Amino acid sequence: MTIHEFIRSMPKVSLHCHLEGSVQARTVVDLAAKHGERLPPYREPEDLYTYPDILKFLEMYDIVAHVVRDEDDFRRITYETLREASEHNVRYREMFWSPMAHMEIGVPFAVAQAGILRGIGEAEGDFGIRCRLIADINRMQPPEKGLEMVEAVLANRCDELIGVGLDYAESGNPPEGFWKAFRAAKRAGLRLTAHACEEGPPRNVETCLDLLGCGRIDHGYHVVDDAAITARCAAQGVVFNTTPVSTAWVYFNNDMPRHPIRRMVEAGLRITVDCDDPPMFRTDPSRDFVAMTEMGFGARDLCAFVLNAVDACWMDTASKDSMRGEVRAELAGLLARLEGAPAGLSSG
């Protein structure tokens, strides 16, 4: 077994993947034609996913979101991304979606959610993959809009929607403005996370932990620029959901060996690995683990990152314990094949 075969076969738990960022380019073309929407010029559909910086990427992200209009569109894009995930042995995903991007063009929250739930149900029936949802606030919009989104979540409450997050461009949009939205979500029993310190200062991590009440952090790369905050996060076991391929492209000049993830792990921080917006950054649930090997991590490190994701996910305790046992046993078997000798995994 090669390391690439090992990675493809690893059972995976996905904690950082965006629904709208997972739409295949050919599906975008189909949906735009269906609804009579114009797209930017392209020769091949994949050309749509070409952008020079984060803001141009976010423009494309919104273009994609705006061609997803009716319940069946949402069913389709959900089913397609979960089908791809299952092909890489993703067993469970807590998937971000961006209600505000759809609400702003008049798509009712309930319509979008109904379609997504249909896609989740069909994918679980066909592929065995389980999925839950995290509704993300667009931090580039006013905080009142974020509170409106949380109110829509609560008015259309379903068991599959388990959390609220915060995303879009961090620079100039610090997390503290959204405390009311996060407070309302916490009162309702939803779990909380936020994109932080992807391009912003380390203090944004503390704001997300202390003011917003987040249970984990998405990205967090620049936390290592502050030794005290890094030490605090290591001591408290804060989990950072990292996405090496997309962020190397956006922020770190595609220099994988110098990606801050290496420093995060060396500082004792707990990380997970996921694929963010897979077709938009020419990646997939396995490619991001391959990227970790390009930073110098070995197979046993990759297993530890998967088990971190099991521990950090928001399943109920019994389901999490069951999944941890299954995943640990499968990883041990794969390691034995890779290393050519019986192998086990430590409990740490």
Domain count for the chain, please give it. 1
Give the Cα separation of 322 and 85 in Å (integer): 21
Tokens of 84: 């791809």
- What does the pLDDT read at residue 344? 57
Question: 90-97 and 12-14 as β-strands: parallel, antiparallel, unpaired?
Answer: parallel
Model confidence, pTM: 0.95
Query: Is position 249 within any domain?
Result: yes
Give the Cα separation of 252 and 114 in Å (integer): 38
| Cα 169-173-174 angle, rounded to 5 deg | 115
Domain that residue 143 falls in: 3-339
- Work out the mean pLDDT of the chain and round it to a whole number: 96
Find residue 286's DSSP bridge partners: none
Query: Is position 346 within any domain?
Result: no
Of 20, 71, 80, 198, which residue is the catalytic one? 198
Which residues, in sequence order, are CB contacts of 214 under 8 Å at separation 6+?
Answer: 182, 192, 193, 194, 196, 208
Give the Cα separation of 135 and 166 in Å (integer): 8
Query: Is position 348 within any domain?
Result: no
Query: Is position 347 within any domain?
Result: no
- What does the pLDDT read at residue 252? 84
Query: Is position 216 within any domain?
Result: yes
Considering only residues 109 and 52, tell me which one the structure prediction assigns the higher pLDDT. 109
CATH number for the domain harbouring residue 26: 3.20.20.140
Query: Is position 115 within any domain?
Result: yes
pLDDT reading at 262 higher than 80: yes
Is 198 a catalytic site residue? Answer: yes
Give the Cα separation of 269 and 261 in Å (integer): 9
pLDDT reading at 348 higher than 50: no
- What does the pLDDT read at residue 257? 86
Query: Is position 80 within any domain?
Result: yes
Tokens of 132: 């839950």
Coil vs helix vs strand at 193: strand
Coil vs helix vs strand at 301: helix
Mean pLDDT (whole number) for 332-340: 94
Label residue 347 by pLDDT band (50, 70, 90). very low
Q: Tokens 């209600």 — which residue?
A: 99
Query: Is position 11 within any domain?
Result: yes
Name the burial class of residue 210, with classes exposed (0-12), middle (13-18) and buried (19+) by CB atoms within 10 angstroms of its CB: exposed
Cβ atoms of 271 and 261 closer than 8 Å: yes
- What does the pLDDT read at residue 340? 84
